[in-house]
Structure 1
């Protein structure tokens, strides 16, 4: 598929993709200081889609300076919480008005089905902005009665942390950008946003809408570029007060090291290897639908993906037969096709990584139930894959694959406690799910699972009001809900002698 032959494209989408792209710094559209570009590839066919500036540490320095000035001086620094709320709400309205176009850009850039982008990522984004807009006027300190005998009036102030560097991944490019900027803007911070080099386009479209909404110059800056150049420079910059990163655990550790030089605040949303436990009393029809979505949604490129299935022996064959049928019936194809249910992986490198893991799993002794191969003559597709008879020591069970590969382990009544221990026995702890009709069992198992988000008779649990984050090497901090506001604020204690 070429851009010219994509008849389903909106004219506004075609115009945006075809236009020259620049970075957004201090309210202006600028190229990289060194004049370099990086190529953006369409994962549906492997062809170049467009190019964007390849920013480096020089561009990051300019953007950080603009964000610092905006934070400490001028309109944003003096803006009332109510006015910030109105700007966030206006941005949400603009995103909703342009949602079809943004979804198409996301689909071209990332490969995901356009309906998933429109009614999942984009819809969630504008509702998250509206939710965070409500917090602007409710960020409060407290009056504190002191224990000292002398008369004091003591209180706390909750204030914005300052200039925030935000680095977002390629799997939910637009939504992750909004996840980051919404609470930071609600708190009164300023931002330098670095999108993933694979998927920079919707971040630039977001910057256009930020400008249209009327945010002051320098409040939000978007620098495109490679992670090892622009991203590393942002994490290490001494005038950045906080860094927020979503991505792999390996890169998260590098971010943490870089941030250590000036001890900036850090929040990390990292990898996952989420277990799904199905007990023999589960509603199998509902469980099969939730499990298939848990692993195959977004082609398995989801940090919370249910990559490990623990299923009771008594119902394993029936459940796996249903899952195999669902996997084989998934409509694979380009994300822009409205009947596509599973699109390509984001890149050739990711496709090869997933296929290598499938080969490794079979070498380790797993049984292939379905899938296992690349799909199509062009693009970066992998068939939805189910590996049965996997064990705790296999690398496919321990390591994050980030693709549509489900690893199955069966258990008996006698092994129930051991299976819960196995579910916890990875370096990760982002999400988990439990399928049972026994209410007591559901709650008791939920208390034992080491995961930040746990679903009961469902897997993907997400809402603007619900804190999201992980245990262990799945990250630090929580996004969404009030907890996200806490990430972007500091407490000042004030004591007045009376």
Structure 2
């Protein structure tokens, strides 16, 4: 590391904040560690209330001009940012793999292309954002989307850049300015995004990036009276603290808080497909909010399903995420690894049986795990583990399957495997979930609403729903008469 630059796999990354179009260093730093091998990636500027205040002030100062910028120009700049992402796709993929341990092949082929798509989609959606005028007793109603103001976006560590831009892109498209606070366990690609945005011509102060610990700067950001929107993806306890902080100013919130999603497998399902869907839940070492971690299998096929699952899961290759042959990488942090292991050890002590895995491996790796003989009210069934840990329970009737599926405090997603179309419609309609996948998983379209019910979140993102959140909706009602002729 030289001055404020660190080099990750040959890619230079600035470790300072990005505020008001310039790099800003803090007096103190925190160490960013790679989950691959525990090596130090860099000493990152550790934000304080001073830097957060500077960032919000910069966003506030930049807001009037950016809000007044035409839709066409804002869209042009967002497309230019997407161009920049695509030009640096390999750099972004390599850095993020080192920083959060997800598979390099996934970053190259799926995640980073999606980052560029996030900007392109919302740029294009902005240009078509409209609502048909309607009449009320001869008066014309016209709906508009006004930029709200500075937005604080707080993003998680499991898919750092993709989930950050899922918020940044619509916020900028809407004409808002942004203060982005990336997770301290994976901050590096947010810094690269600031460089890319500046190179694309985004005006100074429109995007600001402040690094640091949520416990130290989170309240300063979320309680700031000049902040007009807050979007957060993360845990329920943190969301509660953010909501309390934002309450004094009645700042609108968008919250995506994870889940404990079910995968329902009926006896009439394609069993090979169902097993594939179940094993797919180990993606990103189980560090996926949407993961269907509760396998609910009809009793008559449970034995055969389990046999096939064990066979397929045993063939997964766990190791260095930079290796193309690797299927599962490491857990992001030793603290998270301890958390995952604690869940499993307590479950086994309470009577659960590990038919696959159930233990730590060398380094930050946790073996893909399947636990059976678990009670519906047990911790392992009810609480989000956020690791490669699945449970398996059986049911005998459709009614029981739905009851078990809906019996948690979460409601983010659900997956359903069945060969019966009528059953699929019937069951999907009764599941408490923001997204239901039928005989598939993780098929996402930015035109669709995304979010959760119950403790899985507040609000929806995607398509027009994102603009509804990041804007102040206005209805202008115009009378048919009272006009003077200036002809």
Corresponding residue to 1:228 among 205, 212, 215? 215
Contact preservation (8 Å) 2:121, 2:446: yes
Alignment CA distance shift 1:495-1:281 (3 Å):
closer
The corresponding residue for 1:100 is: 90
Select the residue among 252, 262, 265 that pairs with 2:239: 252
Secondary structure at the residue paired with 2:241?
A: helix
Say which SS state the counterpart of residue 355 (structure 2) adopts.
strand
Distance in 2, Cα, partners of 1:491 & 1:78: 16
> Cα distance, 1:145 vs. partner?
2.5
User: 8 Å contact 1:194–1:230 — kept in the other structure?
Assistant: no
Alignment of 1:55-94 (within 5 A): 55-72=47-64, 74=65, 76-94=66-84
Q: State the TM-score, normalizing by the size of structure 2.
A: 0.95
Secondary structure of the structure 1 residue equivalent to 2:11: helix
Deviations 1:309-365 (A, max 9, x none): 000112111211222122221111122222211111110010011111111111222
Counterpart of 1:421 in structure 2 is 403
Match of 2:46 in 1: 54
- Equivalent residue for 2:443, pick from 461, 464, 470: 461
Q: Runs of 5+ in structure 1 lacking a partner?
A: 4-10
| Stretch moving more, 449-458 or 230-239 | 230-239
> 1:449 is matched with which residue?
431
- Aligned residue in 2 for 1:155: 142
Alignment of 1:430 onto 2:412: yes
Q: Write the deviation string for residues 54-101 of structure 1: whole angstroms up to 9, x where unpaired.
A: 1122111111111111111x3x23311011111111111111121111
Aligned-pair distance for 1:425?
0.8
Equivalent residue number for residue 30 of structure 1: 24
In the TM superposition, 1:306-385 aligns within 5 A as 306-376=292-362, 378=363, 380-385=364-369
447, 459, 474: which one aligns with 1:492: 474
Is the deviation greater in 198-207 or in 89-98?
Answer: 89-98
1:382 partner SS: coil
Local SS of the residue matching 1:145:
strand
Whether the 8 Å contact between 2:125 and 2:463 is mirrored in structure 1 is: no
Structure 2 residue aligned with 1:7: none
Q: Separation in 1 of the partners of 2:100 and 2:304? A: 35
SS of structure 1 residue aligned to 2:314: helix
Residue 138 of structure 1: aligned partner: 128
SS in 2 for 1:428: coil
Q: Take 1:98 and 1:153, find their aligned partners in 2: how far apart are those partners?
A: 48
Q: Distance in 2 between matches of 1:311 and 1:228?
A: 41
Give the 5 Å matches for 1:118-197: 118-140=108-130, 143-147=133-137, 152-197=139-184
Given candidates 111, 125, 138, the residue that maps to 2:101 is: 111
- Which one is further off, 120-129 or 300-309? 120-129
For the residues of structure 1 that align with 2:131 and 2:417, how far apart are their CA atoms?
Answer: 41
User: After the TM superposition, which residues 287-302 of structure 1 pair with which residues of structure 2 at under 5 Å, given as runs?
Assistant: 287-293=274-280, 295-302=281-288
Runs of 4+ in 1 over 6 A off after TM superposition: none
Deviation at 1:436, TM superposition (A): 0.4
Q: How big is each residue's C-alpha offset from its partner over 1:158-195, in whole Å with a ceiling of 9 and x where there is no partner? A: 21111100000000101011101011111111100000
Provide the alpha-carbon RMSD of the alignment. 1.7
Equivalent-residue separation in structure 2 for 1:266 and 1:101 (angstroms): 33
Return the offset for 1:458: 1.4
The answer to whether structure 1 residue 274 and structure 2 residue 261 are counterparts is yes
Preserved contact between residue 306 and residue 459 of structure 1 (Cα < 8 Å): no
Equivalent residue, structure 1, for 2:15: 21
Which residue number corresponds to residue 239 of structure 1?
226
* 1:496 CA displacement: 4.3
Question: What residue ranges of structure 2 are gaps of 5+ in the alignment?
Answer: 483-487
> 1:432·1:459 contact (CA, 8 Å) conserved in 2?
no
- Following the alignment from structure 1 to structure 2, what is the Cα–Cα distance between the partners of residues 227 and 27? 23
Q: Deviations over 1:23-73 (max 9, x none)?
A: 1111101112xx11111011111222212111122111111111111111x
Kept in 1: contact 2:410–2:454 (CA 8 A)? yes
Corresponding pairs, count: 476
Contact 2:285 2:329 in 1 (8 A): yes
- What CA distance in whole angstroms lies between the structure 2 residues aligned with 1:350 and 1:297? 16
**2:142 & 2:121 partners in 1: Cα distance?**
27
**Match of 1:329, SS?**
coil
What is the CA–CA distance in structure 1 between the aligned matches of 2:11 and 2:223, rounded to whole Å? 32
